[in-house]
Amino acid sequence: MFRQSAIKIFAYSIIVSLAFACKKDVKISEDDYQIASDTVNFQWLKLKQDGITINHGAILLPVKFEGIDKTFKMQLDLGINHNVIYGDSLEVITSAYPKLSQNIQHRDGYNVFYNKLAFRNDQKLKSDNLFIQQNFGDNGDLNDLDLIGTIGANEIKGKILIINFKSQNLVITDKLETWEEQNFSFTPLKFQNNQLYLDLIAGGNSHRFMYSTQASLFPLTTVDKNLFDKLTNKSFKQNKQLRSFGEKISFTGSDITTAVKIADLNLPINNKKAFFTEAKTAVKTLESENAKGVIGNDLFMNNTIVIDLVNNRFGIK
């Protein structure tokens, strides 16, 4: 705990997916891991596209495989229901450790790699099978191999995930202590189709948003023009076009000027921007879930959050 201190990806990945990033545009922050007690420290994956730098693109966790004397990184992505290993990276690993090739099995049209997996503090992950994403990942020297796959929602189902963004660490646990609960404000959370939904309060009204732990382009993106106008500075707007799955998507952005709350806690909005898109796929998919948009990790840089899939609630402090 913090001491008082086939894979299905939804169409709105058009907003949040890591897939738009080329390998040359990916940078991992240089902060060293410092593991203590039951916490797992993480790093940020920085992304660049068309001159835009996304500093908090995705959460990277340090992992170790049984029998391999090396620490790798895997992206936390609650938008998929399986742990994934990149096929090209796995080829590098099995070339250095040929016996591990025996751990690859074919199952129902896809390949699976079986091996015990733990965080760098030796906390074991629930699942010892990883879906192999073919033709993806780095294929260089083992010593240079770093980001090798994804940790999915299967690891936190029936558990509680606490993410401390200021300290860049997290805990996966079975329960919160009473003194911990008292520090958080809670709102109902719905975990549906491997996506997290919660309500934001803005302009005096409650709005359903999807929270993505994937590579979020912006702190807040909405497909509701009226909500965007209420949230932002009307006198200053900027337009951006970003690639996603081979097409250009247009976004209109501006500074958030209206208070945004989760439960009874006001979120810091200084230097935070909201963006609006009319991309048809995003609009159709989000509206089918009765959601107004997507919020990303960048909205919580000053907070600690709780994703409680035991009691179906989202906590923040």
Are 309 and 217 in a shared domain?
yes
Same domain for 150 and 225: no
**102: in domain:** yes
* Residue 1 in domain: no
Domain end marker among 155, 174, 209: 155
Q: Which CATH number fits the domain that encloses residue 107?
A: 2.40.70
Does some domain include residue 172?
Answer: no
Could you tell me if residue 197 is inside a domain?
A: yes
Same domain, 189 and 120: no
72 and 122 co-located in one domain: yes
Q: Write out the residue range of the structural domain in which residue 204 sits.
A: 182-316
State which of 117, 140, 155 marks the end of a domain: 155
Residues 131, 244, single domain; the answer is: no
Do 226 and 127 fall into the same domain? Answer: no
Residue 14 belongs to a domain: no
pLDDT of res. 117: 94
User: What pLDDT, on the 0 to 100 scale, is given for residue 37?
Assistant: 55
Task: Kindly state whether residues 199 and 297 are assigned to the same domain.
Answer: yes
Nearest Cα to Cα of residue 185 among 197, 172, 200: 200
**15 in any annotated domain:** no
Are 221 and 294 found together in one domain? yes
Q: List the chain pLDDT tens, one digit each, 317 residues.
A: 444 333 333 333 434 443 333 344 455 544 444 434 579 999 998 887 767 777 888 899 999 999 999 999 999 998 888 999 999 999 999 999 999 999 999 988 899 999 999 998 888 999 999 999 999 999 889 999 999 999 999 999 999 999 999 999 999 999 998 888 999 999 999 998 888 999 999 878 999 999 988 756 688 999 999 999 999 987 778 888 876 545 678 889 999 999 999 999 999 888 898 999 998 888 888 999 999 999 999 899 999 999 999 999 999 99
The domain boundary residue, chosen from 136, 155, 174:
155
In a domain, residue 167? The reply is: no
* DSSP letter for each residue of 78-147: TTSSS-EEEHHHHHHHHHHSGGGGGGEEEETTEEEEE--EEETTSPBPS--EEEEETT-S--S-GGG--E
pLDDT of residue 197: 96
pLDDT value of position 103: 96
Helices (H), 119-222: 178-181
How far apart, in Å, are the Cα atoms of 127 and each of 70, 124, 130, 136, 149? 19, 9, 8, 21, 14
Percent helix, strand and coil across the chain, each rounded to 5? 20, 40, 40
DSSP three-state, residue 157: coil
pTM (2 decimals)? 0.86
User: Are 188 and 299 found together in one domain?
Assistant: yes
Q: Which helix (H) or strand (E) holds 52?
A: strand 52-65
Residues 148 and 196 in one domain: no
User: Total structural domains in the chain?
Assistant: 2
Is the CB of residue 136 less than 8 Å from the CB of residue 64?
A: no
CA 65 → CA 40, 71, 136, distances in Å?
A: 16, 8, 19
CATH number for position 229:
2.40.70.10
Residues 212 and 107 in one domain: no
The CB density around residue 144, as the number of other CB atoms within 10 Å, is 8
CA–CA distance, 185 with 183 (Å, rounded to integer): 7
How far apart are alpha carbons 291 and 125 in whole angstroms?
32
For residues 213 and 139, give the distance between their C-alpha atoms in angstroms, rounded to a whole number.
Answer: 26
Contact yes or no for 44/62 (Cβ under 8 A): no
Q: How many CA atoms lie within 13 A of 173 on its CB side?
A: 15
Q: Is 18 inside any structural domain?
A: no
Give 54's contacts (C-beta < 8 A, 6+ positions apart): 46, 47, 48, 215, 216, 217, 298
Q: Are 42 and 81 members of one domain? A: yes
Give SS3 for 2: coil
